[in-house]
Amino acid sequence: MSHANAALTPRARLRLARLVVDDGWPIARAAELFQVSWPTAKRWAGRYRHLGPAGMGDRSSRPHHQPNRTPPHLVRRIVSLRRRHRLGPVQLADRLGLASSTVHAVLTRCRLHRLSHLDRYSGEPIRRYEHPYPGALLHVDVKKLGNIPDGGGWRYLGRAQGNKNRVATGGKPRNAYYNNKIGTAFVHTVLDDHSRVAYAEIHDDETATTATAVLRNAVAWFADRGVTTERVLSDNGSAYRSHLWRDTCLALGITPKKTRPYRPQTNGKIERFHRTLADGWAFKQLYPTEQTRRDALPAWLHHYNHHRPHTAIGQLPPITRLTNLPGQYS
């Protein structure tokens, strides 16, 4: 690609070459018209004569032959050790008898120069994907949160005061140690793969009946915003393996998909959303009661969808990737 101060863009090169080759202009006169040197005009005219308009683009500066390039078998060895043992360039160079700069160049060329590019457990390169339009895939999962006792929990008040509030919260069953069982909040979340627009409901269980009801509500919620759901991706939890889940997806015209067992990275977008959910809402501040925290969820979801910039989509709010109803940004 031509640089910002280039005298000739590909289109201008083609005009110059056609004046010389097709119209018979002298090279010196064409060079003077386009304010370039005589050899430059001659080069583009020659390329046009042999390659036509396709030859007006820039060529790679990489040499045709690199006799000193690292042999393929050493490249494979470097990549294998990097993936299996997560070693750095210095350690790899010591094992293979190479210069660390050579090893680093190989890792950079193979896009393995940062350990963050490799999966922590398998050592395989992280494969990122994004479906081309909203509704092509919805991610679903459940985030479990301990309920907050009346007066606040231990995260902000400390263990001692948190335990006192736990004991003082009435109307709760007792466990084997006669302590109050505060219970668990199950946040059922649905995330669109392309836009990252999120939908969530809080329930007291994660049964198939609840999961399918959330799916129906989420599909209707996205449909109101002009999004037609085609697929849904879940883990292998019992609710998502049930016949009710399968039948509900069939009734909604959705193709159900499952992640590979013990491989949550496949559903990584919603796993990362859960971390954002915990930091931005669940543990953001001191909530005096569980109901107070639940009441704060809709406002936070609106902020996430409509106002919070998302780094994966160019620092824009997720809702900007939905081109549908007017007034959705208010």
Same domain (yes/no): 45, 192: no
CA distances (Å), origin 224, targets 172, 198, 308: 39, 14, 21
Q: What are the pLDDT digits (tens) for 56-94? A: 888 888 888 888 889 999 999 999 998 888 888 999 999
- Smallest CA-to-CA distance from 197 within 182, 179, 216, 218 is with 218
Whether 102 and 70 have beta carbons less than 8 Å apart is answered as yes
Same domain (yes/no): 49, 77: no
Largest Cα span, the chain? 100
Q: Does a structural domain hold residue 174?
A: no
Token pair, residue 136, equals 């092509």
pLDDT-based confidence at residue 230 (cuts at 50, 70, 90): very high
Most confident of 5-14, 145-154, 170-179, 211-220: 211-220
Domain tally for the chain? 3
Give dist(CA 52, CA 46) in Å, integer.
9
Conformation bin of residue 253: beta by default, left when phi > 0, alpha when psi is -120 to 50: left
Range scoring the smallest mean pLDDT among 108-117, 129-138, 234-243: 108-117
DSSP per residue, 22-88: TS---HHHHHHHHT--HHHHHHHHHHHHHHGGGGGSPPP-S-S--TTSPPHHHHHHHHHHHHHH---
Residue 43 lies in domain:
10-56
Q: Cα angle vertex 328, ends 324, 330, to 5°?
A: 160
Residue 185: phi and psi, rounded to 5, are -100, 125
The DSSP bridge pattern shows strands 231-234 and 255-258 to be parallel
Range scoring the smallest mean pLDDT among 5-9, 123-127, 141-145: 123-127
The pLDDT score that the predictor gives to residue 227 is 94
State what percent of residues in the chain have pLDDT above 70. Answer: 91
Give dist(CA 183, CA 171) in Å, integer.
12
Identify the sign of the CA torsion 95, 97, 100, 106: negative
Q: What are the pLDDT digits (tens) for 153-185? A: 888 889 889 888 887 887 777 666 666 678 899
Laid out side by side, the sheet with 184-192 consists of 198-203, 184-192, 138-146, 231-234, 255-258
The pLDDT score that the predictor gives to residue 248 is 96
Q: Does a structural domain hold residue 97?
A: yes
Same domain (yes/no): 281, 191: yes
Give dist(CA 211, CA 189) in Å, integer.
10
Same domain (yes/no): 94, 42: no
Same domain (yes/no): 206, 296: yes
Same domain (yes/no): 284, 213: yes
Give dist(CA 133, CA 43) in Å, integer.
44
Q: Cα angle vertex 213, ends 208, 219, to 5°?
A: 125
Helix (H), strand (E) at residue 282: none
Same domain (yes/no): 105, 221: no
Give dist(CA 58, CA 35) in Å, integer.
19
Question: Mean pLDDT throughout 2-12?
Answer: 77
Same domain (yes/no): 14, 77: no
Give dist(CA 275, CA 279) in Å, integer.
6
Same domain (yes/no): 297, 234: yes
Q: Does a structural domain hold residue 258?
A: yes
**At residue 270, what is the residue type?**
I
**The domain that contains 228 carries what CATH number?**
3.30.420.10
Burial class from Cβ neighbours inside 10 Å (0-12, 13-18, 19+) for residue 172 reads middle
**At residue 213, what is the residue type?**
A
